[in-house]
A = this chain, B = another copy of it.
Amino acid sequence: MLSNKIVECVPNFSEGRDLEKIEKIINVFRGREGVKLLDYSSDKDHNRTVVTVAGEIEALKVCIIDFMEKAIELIDLKEHQGQHPRMGAVDVVPFIPIKNVTMEEAVELSKEVAEIASEKFGLPIFLYEKSASCAARENLAVVRKGEFEGMAEKLQNPEWKPDYGPCHPHTSAGVTAIGARMPLVAFNVNLDTSNLDIATAIGKKVRFIGGGLRFCKAMGVKLEDRNITQVSMNMTDYTKTALYRSLEMIRMEAKRYGVNVVGTEIVGLVPMQALIDCAEYYMGIENFSSDQILESKLME
């Protein structure tokens, strides 16, 4: 079991087809003191694997370096094809503060890993999200633009000098983005309409870029098998934009179409507090402290 200070890490590496290679890489996370492999899933179309691990800061640091070494050894990006954008064998390494860890500590951890990895592997590394050295590098999609094939040229541009490592991509492992961010929650709200235009219109209103909630990304999706639609969201900071706020805003916007919310869905992992915050809101619980949750006490 893990101690009191816990960071999560969700590294993405560019191999989703060769099971033997995938297992060799995943094995780096197994049987480690102070680090716990929580989940991993590979996508053949994306040709990419997403890993979820959590651990104590120091143990996680060593583990991620070992993981990068193994992935760089086994993956040659010159031969990589897949639907998902990518620029490196180890494409992106986000660190996420979970328990008794500040965002500042997660940023510090990301920079230490970036420094060690760039020197050890001769790998150019961009810091992104909360670790970014300037606003232009916060957004991963912008950093990764050009992908592996375009990185040699991109890195020659002084504006895209890597934060760590050389100004040319690693021959086989390309470029890696490392940073710290809040936990993402994949939260979907189902509507009793089969009209995708309505779900799309609501999604645009509730999301940040459309004038909606600050930490909410949203789009309309059709659920063909149920003949209904869904506002599919990525909540990028549940501590500031609570799940219940997006749900109630969708309910409100749906009313004008005579459409009702018929259910919701949480995909993948969710921090306990994201749901406790919702229980507190709907039940009107006064002066509640998460110290009152038995499991929190047990984890102390």
Contact = CB atoms under 8 A, between A and B. Distances in A.
A268 interface: yes
Contact of A287 (B1, B3, B265): B265
- Copies per complex of this chain: 2
A294 B1 contact: no
Contacts of A300: 36
A285 B263 contact: yes
A54 B6 CA distance: 22
Interface string A263-300: 11110111110011011101111111000111111111
Contact of A285 (B265, B293, B294): B265
Given A1-B1, A54-B298, A279-B275, A293 B265 contact: no
A136 interface: no
Interface in A226-247: 243-244, 247
A47 to B, nearest CB: 26
Contact of A271 (B190, B280, B295): B295
A268 to B, nearest CB: 7
A99 B243 CA distance: 27
A300 B299 CA distance: 11
A62 B286 CA distance: 39
B294 A299 contact: no
Contacts of A36: 297-298, 300
Nearest to A55: B298
Contact of A270 (B98, B268, B293): B293
Contacts of A284: 261-264
A124 interface: no
Nearest to A2: B298
A183 interface: yes
A266 B294 contact: no
Contact of A2 (B1, B8, B261, B270): B1
A101 to B, nearest CB: 13
A157 to B, nearest CB: 39
A297 B35 CA distance: 12
A259 to B, nearest CB: 15
Contacts of A261: 284
In the A-B complex, list the 3 residue pairs whose CB atoms are closest, starting with the nearest.
A282-B282, A1-B1, A275-B279
Given A271-B295, A282-B282, 6 more contacts: A1-B3, A54-B294, A261-B284, A263-B286, A268-B292, A275-B275
13 contacts: A8-B294, A38-B298, A99-B295, A190-B286, A244-B282, A263-B286, A264-B283, A269-B292, A269-B293, A269-B297, A272-B294, A278-B279, A278-B283
